[in-house]
Amino acid sequence: MEHSSRRRAQARLTPRDLDLLAFIAEQRVIVAYHALRFLGVSSSVAYARLRALSAAGLVRSETALHGHPRCYQTTARGVRTVGKRYRTQAIDYGTLQHDLGVTSLALAARAGTFGPLRAVISERAMRSHDASADRAGEPFGVRFGGVGERGHPRLHYPDLMLVTPNDKRIAFELELTSKGARRREKILLGYAFDNKIDAVVYLVRDRSTGQKIQDSARRIGISDLVHVQMVGGLPRAGSASRFHARSAQRQLSEPVR
């Protein structure tokens, strides 16, 4: 009975609903505000579309934290519906603000905040591409140094990869907290030796974090590759869903001094 009602609910979905489903599948987690921005509709319409996807068994939701907006993720059925092979995953409360910020960053890129683009590629899409036995084109993973499980090379994936119309790859890293110097410089060394990456943009919300990244890049000798930008509207406690593209566009012209 439940399966038949879900099939009926899925049959009522519109192409735009499926576009939204595909976007949710690309992200680790979204909130209703992201659906509103993606669809360009009112909050009531965004909630209605999310309810429709939930009724069809394609999206699941939960209130992650007290006082925090309800979070949405695709189910295994939802992932299959959009033709992807992503693993379903639980919400990671330790990285929730970062993950929601990356979703907002993806929306900003799609809206043209960072200029014309040929593709906006999520971390999930990059990992899935590289894991595919029949993948086409260059892998996205940046060698991190050493080997991991089963003897495979350790790889680092940026939060987002932007591909320009002339096929330049720009890696975006949303750095809400400062990594330790050793880990940070391992990642930067990976970028230094990866000729597939044409630029790395670190978005930070405090100058101290930005300065540490710049200092590390200078020591490694890749200051021309790494760009650090202060950005407004980044998520803090209770406001993770409101990283506005307009704010990002205004702030990205302000390099860390």
Q: What stretch(es) of the chain map to CATH 3.40.1350?
A: 92-257
Nearest to 54 by CA among 91, 89, 9: 9
Q: Pairing mode, if any, of strands 199-204 and 226-230?
A: parallel
User: Which residues does 15 contact at the CB level (< 8 Å), separation at least 6?
Assistant: none
Do 241 and 34 form a contact (C-beta atoms < 8 A)? yes
- In angstroms, the Cα distances linking 114 to 86, 117, 159, 243, 253 are 27, 8, 15, 15, 11
DSSP H helical ranges for the chain:
2-11, 15-26, 32-39, 43-55, 76-81, 96-110, 123-131, 181-192, 207-220, 245-251
161 forms beta bridges with 121, 171
Give the total residue count for the chain.
Answer: 257
User: Which residues does 167 contact at the CB level (< 8 Å), separation at least 6?
Assistant: 118
* Dihedral sign for Cα atoms in the order 98, 104, 108, 110: positive
- Residue 229 has a CB neighbour count (10 Å cut-off) of 17
> In this predicted structure, what is the pLDDT of residue 221?
95
The list of the chain residues with pLDDT below 70 reads: 1-5, 8-9, 11, 145-152, 233-257
> Which CATH code fits 1-91?
1.10.10.10
pLDDT digits (tens, 9 = 90+) for 134-148: 777 788 989 876 655
Q: What stretch(es) of the chain map to CATH 1.10.10.10?
A: 1-91
Burial (CB count within 10 angstroms: exposed 0-12, middle 13-18, buried 19+), residue 40? exposed
> Which CATH code fits 92-257?
3.40.1350
pLDDT digits (tens, 9 = 90+) for 189-235: 999 999 999 999 999 989 999 999 999 999 999 999 999 998 875 54
d(CA 236, CA 205): 10
